[in-house]
Amino acid sequence: MYHNAGLIGHPLSHSISPLIHNYFYHKSRINGGYCCFDVDKSEIAQIIHIMKKFYFKGFNVTLPYKTDIIDFLDEVEFQASKINAVNTVKIIDGKLFGYNTDLFGIEKTFEDFNIEIFKKKILILGSGGAAKPLFYFLKDKNAYVDIVNRTVKNTETVLEQLEIYNFNNFDLLFLKKNNYYDIIVNTTSVGIDKKEFFDMSHIDCGEFAFDFQYSIDGCTPFLDIYKNSVPKYTDGLLMLIYQGLKAFGLFNDVKLEIDINELKKFILKKG
């Protein structure tokens, strides 16, 4: 039997998830493949029905459906439930089980760069769906966390849902004040269309700059600001690989060991 999986979201024209997952299939020698389903919200139920019919092992979910998908699930793991976002769904005997492997991707990225969180001063840009697992990850790390978002009220709502009461919340005017942070994380899509990023000239970063965006043809606009002044920085490619690896393991009940650097080189070559 084929061990197929897929990705639901919109838009998906630039997604490299099929490239990553089909690399996993090749390395694991598992007979299967991974494909994209670029759909409107109204088509999600139909796509799920098709995947069940053809015995898919599961699927990933990306923007903008990571919360919407929960309504279709039979069971959601504790962490994904608390984050209120699911990016991985396993299909077992026609039932749907939801997980959030983005959290694993974030944890592994900090671990690979040997970044200590305890007592660090951290700035997070954005509080949308991508930021939720990051907030959850930092919740009990005893760090000093400031969040900057266009709309303060939106951030307040997310923090209340996650039962986080010790993060500071600011609007974009905060970036005009001189500040220093050990770690800065960008979770927004600002600059993704090659336009300018926020003015970060007043914000210094001393240790680690982490962009959830990724680029296979050069540095992201956010990292362009800090790459020459911080000792460690990364885009979101590593996070994407790790969350995909975790999802692949869930789909196929395996623990696949891969050479991360080899995979990154493969992606950059194919991209």
What is the rounded CA–CA span in Å between residue 101 and residue 56? 19
- Contacts of residue 119, defined as CB under 8 A and 6 or more positions apart, other chains included, come to 142, 143, 144
The answer to whether 77 and 100 are in contact (CB under 8 A) is yes
194 given a catalytic annotation: no
| Nearest alpha carbon to residue 91 among 66, 59, 47, 58 | 58
Neighbours of 244 (CB within 10 A): 26
| 3-class secondary-structure state, position 47 | helix
The answer to whether 17 and 245 are in contact (CB under 8 A) is no
Question: Would you call 52 exposed, middle or buried from its count of C-beta atoms within 10 A (0-12, 13-18, 19+)?
Answer: middle
What is the rounded CA–CA span in Å between residue 148 and residue 170? 5
Instruction: Out of 66, 82, 90, 246, pick the active-site residue.
Output: 66
What is the rounded CA–CA span in Å between residue 202 and residue 175? 7
* Dihedral of the alpha carbons of 101, 103, 107, 112, in degrees to the nearest 10: 40
Catalytic residues: 66
